[in-house]
A and B are shown apart, each in its own frame.
Chain A
């Protein structure tokens, strides 16, 4: 039984390992530039990994935030506009974080004030943020973009900087999630909200904490978006919201949250997706077929995870 549990718990990590080995094997056979490919994988994964790591706190509580992509875009746009006026990268970084945390706070406070499920307020917030994206771009006067000079961020567009940001944020999240009451109580709230409430745990308080931590990730993701692609348009980060959901589930996170939530799910999922995409391209699968293959693998992951959970009681 212990071996079986271990296999299930390690399945996402093993999956990533298989994909990494597959990438190197297929890549070497096909003669692709695997070293450059690793750089591409990091570039394609890092924003989703950072945002999704923060989002794990929300998912753990059995909640869901659909506005993360739009929030990333708004934070990046405001930060980009601040750069254009101040030419100060530190201020740009701080703005990016502050805007994202502010949006996250607004989400959670609104849910608390109106006593609504958090998911509902994030749907409303998604519309507001999408409108704000258009407004910000128009305010900027170019009609289509906010363009931070690429020279300004070129020195930060390195793998070292991106990995450093991801590692630091991930370390903070691991600490909060696994070694403080925050993570434990959020798991409790996700597993059984009523029971958690009866023991004196405040849903609102932990919801606000989860959103603030997630907001920090969104802010970092927004800054990394500026660093990677400093020409910001209405499409900036448009796929991040959906990619975060896919990455979290791909990484083995139960969609209902609770005790089996894992902080590392987001990073595992984000990198797994990118390696999978690279392998698809190597097999010359066009994007339509690639998406179907990904969907099939995704289903398999969810099916296995769901089957495993049904056979067992809560972890003791």
Chain B
């Protein structure tokens, strides 16, 4: 099957989704990210790889954190960065997505980082751009958020290097979460043998088992002996209808408290993609506790995004081996 993310030589051309990406490419991204972690710890936090390239952050949907980490990543690679909050610009004047994109192509942008509220919108843009431009999906609707999935598995690998011997649980709003989908694909591709999802039935997509996960509806059995707990944000803005009785009720059953954390292995790590709803999906005590790796996730997110951009820009240059 043709994978629009890969070029004729099997090299990464766009990063749109983790689904269908070969393990070799995932590992290449994670290994490269190791090199970029060190860059942030130096006096001069910059390498010259993308000097003279222009990276365009096009956000049709707001996200301060994701946009900022992409911007820092591009700047640490020495690229010039342009941020477009399209929600507040031309689209409100009636311009179509492709007109917006065509204008940026005419300005000789080299790479687009795109977030859009609709699933598939980023694929659509990737199919439209000329061959020398790479597109990175920074989140599209409920579909995918590949760099978040990658930074999450990078964080897991850093704390629990033996991926073939892990039990990972995703907790919460799987239905609306593009992060959950990307995480599940990344974990299973990298050989994690047991991935669980823990959520009320109303927050699970139909047929979620087909993604290769085990389904649980209560925290006690679901968290038993897990090594990694990935909390998901309750996506209030994406909820339509009454899927939950109340935030308090949700916290009581599915919120991660110190007590529920004790069901997992004693050295289990706690992750959250942010932004957190403290007191809804996670207790403050746990979020700030010794098992939490939520802030390291943010730090690693920059290294992983640098790795993705560096690999894509390397291909653009027409590079062979």
A binds B: no
Interface, chain A (partner B; CB < 8 A): none
- Listed in ascending order, the chain B residues whose CB lies under 8 Å from chain A are none
